[in-house]
Amino acid sequence: MVGKPAVFVDRDGTICFDKHYLADPAGLEFIPTVVDGLRKLTKAGVPIIIVTNQSGVARGYFTEGTLVKIHKELVKILEKQGVSILDIFYCPHMPDAGCDCRKPAPGLLIRASKKHGIELSKSYVIGDRMMDVELAHKVNAKGVLVPEPGDQCGTDKEITASKEKPDFMAGNFSEAADWALSRLKQKV
């Protein structure tokens, strides 16, 4: 049985502004066009799964319990806006931990695929960093890069330094969602 495609979305810098180790749900601040783009995906019936590195847990900045509270609030806010998040997978480890779940390692996507019957090679990863594109390519998915507002210079440097190239470079999240949806519809 062939699985269904999904759209995997990074959290910090993609869905909400990167607050550098966000430790309080009250600090969630959504990036413009994100809710619109996520709503389009939801209306099209595309499973949305958040995948995020959260080394603040290993660094002791917040607990996994606090992280769960942040994610519950994130889902609650998005549900009120007509967005359905299927699941959230996170890596709580330090960058040098050598785990299989810290992006760009594919562990989070593999776990999501097994749990939800996702066909990774038909899926998309949307994120603000080249590690999100690299993650996509490790499982033969498409990588969509959408720089966090105000960070175009940092994104340009990452692209130049990387061997990988995004499958699509979006100007904003809604545009990224439209691009993924247009390709998903072609495969139906």
8 A C-beta contact, residue 13 and residue 128 = yes
8 A C-beta contact, residue 129 and residue 11 = no
Of 150, 103, 169, the closest CA to residue 131 belongs to 103
Q: What are the backbone dihedrals phi and psi of residue 43, each rounded to the nearest 5 degrees, phi first?
A: -60, -30
Q: What are the backbone dihedrals phi and psi of residue 101, each rounded to the nearest 5 degrees, phi first?
A: -110, -10
Buried b / exposed e over 83-103, threshold 16 CB at 10 Å, is bbbbbbbbbbbeeeeeeebbb
Q: Among the options 12, 87, 128, 132, which is catalytic?
A: 12
Q: Among the options 10, 87, 128, 167, which is catalytic?
A: 10
24 is catalytic: no
Of 111, 108, 96, the closest CA to residue 134 belongs to 108
12 is catalytic: yes
What whole-number distance in Å separates Cα of residue 89 and Cα of residue 52?
7
Catalytic residues: 10, 12
